[in-house]
Amino acid sequence: MSASLDKLVREAREELGTREAKGVNWDAVDRSLFARIERERRAERARFFAPRSGRVWASLAAGLAVATGVAVFAGKARELPSPPVVSTEESAGTLVSVDGKTGEPGATPDDRYAQVLINGRPAARGALLRLGDVVETRSAQATIERAGKLSLILDRGTRVSVTHVQGALVLALAQGAVEAQIVPIPRGEAFAVDVESARVAVHGTHVRVARSDERVVVDLNEGVVSLGEAPRVGSVLGALVTAPAHAEFAAADTLGTLTVTHDPSEVRVPVALGAAERARSAFVAAPPLAPPKTESARVGPALSGVARPEMHSTALAAATPNSALANPNAEVALANAVRACMAERPRAENVTVVVSTTLHLELADDGTVRTARFDPPVAPDVNGCAAQSIYKTRFAHGGSVALPIALTVPE
Amino acid sequence: MVSLAPLGTRERPAPGVRTRMADEERLIARATAGDTAAFRQLYERHRTDVARLVYRMLAGRGDFEDVVQEVFVQVYKSLKDFRAQSKFSTWLHRVTVNVVLMHRRAARSRPAFHDDPPGEAFVRSDDIRPDEDAERRERVRAFARLLDRLADKKRIVFVLHELEGISPGEIAKIVGAPVLTVRTRLFYARREIESMLAEEPALAGLRLGFSKVASGEGET
C-alpha cells in the first residue's frame, strides 16, 4: 500500500463514520426499533396463539349464540357482552393423505396418520392446517392440498411451520424437504418456503426445496422461482431461476453462495402431485418451456432469466410463436413492448425513473425465442409482463440477440 | 463495552474481557429467551460500533440510521439461530454485512434518485483556504467516494480489514468465503483504490497538499 493510501486509510479509520455513529439520534432510533420489535413480538404471539385461541373463541361464540337464542326464546333477553370477532383466516391446506411404512406389520391407515404430527399431536385425515401450525413427518410422507391452489408433499423426517396463509402460503422449513405443484397465479407469489432468512418464492411451478443443515437445494421442473432474502412485505428481490434448474445455496447467504445448473439430468425427477397438477393441466394451454442449452453457472441477480409465462389462456395459446409469422421489425417491437411494461409500473409523483438494461435472447433456428434474460435484472413484475411479449415474438433469424433497452419516465 | 473491532484478532481474552464475555453470553441467552431488557442491553453495547460499520460500508450513502435499525431488527429475529459456534461479534458483523448488502441491492433495483455520496457537492474554491481539519474532512469524504466505487465484495473486506481491523480469517467467517478469497479481494481492493486515487481530481489535488503537509512544506 502506498504511503498516500496508508495515510488516507489511517485518517479514515479515525474519522470515517466515527462522528456520524456518535451523532446518531439514538432516541429516535430506539423508539422506532423497539416499536418494530414489539410489533414483531405481537405478530409472533399471534402466529402461535391465534389459531388455537381462534378456535376457542369460535366455540365460545357458538355457545354465546346458542345462549342468546335461548334467552330471546324465553323472552328474557339481556344485554350480553359483544362476542369476540372470530377470525376468518384462510386455512393453509388440508392433509389429504399419508403414505409410507409404519414399521409394523398389519399397520392401518390410522397408524400411517400417526406418523404425521400437527403441533405435536398425531394428525387425522382431513386435518386443516392453520397459521402457526407445526407439521412433522416421521417415517411417512404427507400430502397436503390447498384447493385449487397447490398440492405439496412433505418428505419423511420433515418439519415445517406455517408462517403465512393470507393469499400466499409460506412455510418455514426447519428440516427435510417440501415438494410442491402450484397453480400459476397472474401476479405475485403463490407459495414460498423459508429456510432461516432465505426464501424460495414461486408464482406457479413444480418445485422441491430440501434442507440439509444450512444448505438448501432447490429442484425446479417448471416455471420460475425467486431466490433471495425473505422480505417483510412484498415480493422477493433476488435471483430469478427458470426451469429446468437445480440450485444450491447456503441459507445465510443466498445470493453469495448460489449455484445453478440448467442441465435437466441434474434436476430431480418430480413426483406427480394430485389436484394442483390436474388444475394446472386444465389451466395451462401452453407447453412448458423447452429446456435451454445445458449450462452450469454461478448466478447472481445479474443473471436472472425471464420465465416463459405460465398464464397462457387458450386464446393466447393460439398465438404461440410457431404459428406466428416472423416479424422483420421484431427487435423494435419487442423493445417497445418491454418499455411499455416498464412504463406501466406504478411510481410516485415527481419521481423520474431511469431504467437501462439489455435483453439477451437465444433464438431457435425458426426465430422463436428459446431463452431470455435481462442484464441487469428488472423487477419481477416487469419480467412477467415482458415475458408475455418476448415469447410471442418470432424473429426472421436464429442465433443470439442483445437488445439494449433504456427508458426514462416521464420523458 | 466489548468493542467490535479488535475482537476478530484476539486469541485469548484478558480476565476482565472474559468476565464481560461471560456477561454477554448471559445477555444473549436471556435475549434469546425473549427478555427484551437483555436485548436492549446488547443493543446499547453494540449500536455505536454497528452504526460506524454500516456508515463505512455504505460509504456514507443513504439513510444509514434506517439500516442500523434494520440490523438490530434482524438481530432480534435471528438471535434464536445464533449457535455460539462463532463469536457474537462475528455473527453480528455477518448480520450487519448481509443487511447492508440487501439494502444496497434493493437500492439498486429501485429508481435512481441520484443519491450522491457525501461531499459530491463540495466545491473547492481557490479563494478559500480551508484549515487543516477541513482538508482532512474533505480527504475522508473523498476516500468515502472511492470506497463507494468499489464492488460490494471488495469494499466489505477492505472496510472490515483496513478500517475495522479485523483479521482475514475472521472476515472469512463473516462473509462465508475462504481466507484466500478474502486476501485476494483485499489485494484487488487496495489496487483499485490506488488507481482511483490518481483518477479522483479532488483527492489528487489533496494528495499534493497532503504530501506537503506530511513533509512540512505546507506549514507556515
Q: Please write the tens of the pLDDT for every residue from A69-89.
A: 333 333 333 333 333 333 334
Angle formed at CA A373 by CA A372 and CA A379, multiple of 5 degrees: 125
To test the contact with chain B by mutation, choose from A2, A16, A248, A383 the residue with the greatest count of B C-beta atoms within 10 A, namely A16
Mean pLDDT of B150-174: 93
Cis peptide before B117 (omega within 30 of 0): no
Distance CA A311, CA A384 (A): 10
Using CA atoms, how far residue A183 sits from A40, A53, A386, in Å, is 31, 31, 20
Question: Which residues of A fall within a CB distance of 8 Å from B214?
Answer: 3, 7
pLDDT greater at residue A102 or residue A2: A2
Distance CA B29, CA B83 (A): 11
Q: What is the DSSP letter of A168?
A: S
Cis peptide before A410 (omega within 30 of 0): yes
Residue-by-residue DSSP string for B40-96: HHHHHHHHHHHHHHHHHHTTT-S-HHHHHHHHHHHHHHHGGG--SSS-HHHHHHHHH
Find the residue in A nearest to B48 (Cα).
A21
Confidence of residue A101 (pLDDT cuts 50, 70, 90): low
Angle formed at CA B178 by CA B172 and CA B183, multiple of 5 degrees: 75
pLDDT at residue B159 above 90? yes
> What integer best gives the mean pLDDT of chain A?
71
Using CA atoms, how far residue A335 sits from A14, A330, B12, B109, in Å, is 50, 8, 61, 20
Q: Please write the tens of the pLDDT for every residue from B67-124.
A: 999 999 999 888 877 766 778 889 999 999 999 988 887 776 654 433 444 443 333 4
Question: Which residues of B fall within a CB distance of 8 Å from A25?
Answer: 65
pLDDT at residue A411 above 60? yes
Residues A157, A163, A166, A167, CA torsion sign: negative
Q: Tell me if the pTM is above 0.80.
A: no
> What integer best gives the mean pLDDT of chain B?
75
To test the contact with chain B by mutation, choose from A29, A32, A163, A352 the residue with the greatest count of B C-beta atoms within 10 A, namely A29
Q: What percent of chain B has pLDDT over 90?
A: 34
Distance CA A57, CA A366 (A): 63
Looking at residue A153, its amino acid is: I
Question: Which range has the top average pLDDT, A84-88, A114-118, B14-18?
Answer: A114-118
| Among candidate residues A29, A43, A88, A32, the one with its CA nearest the CA of residue A232 | A43
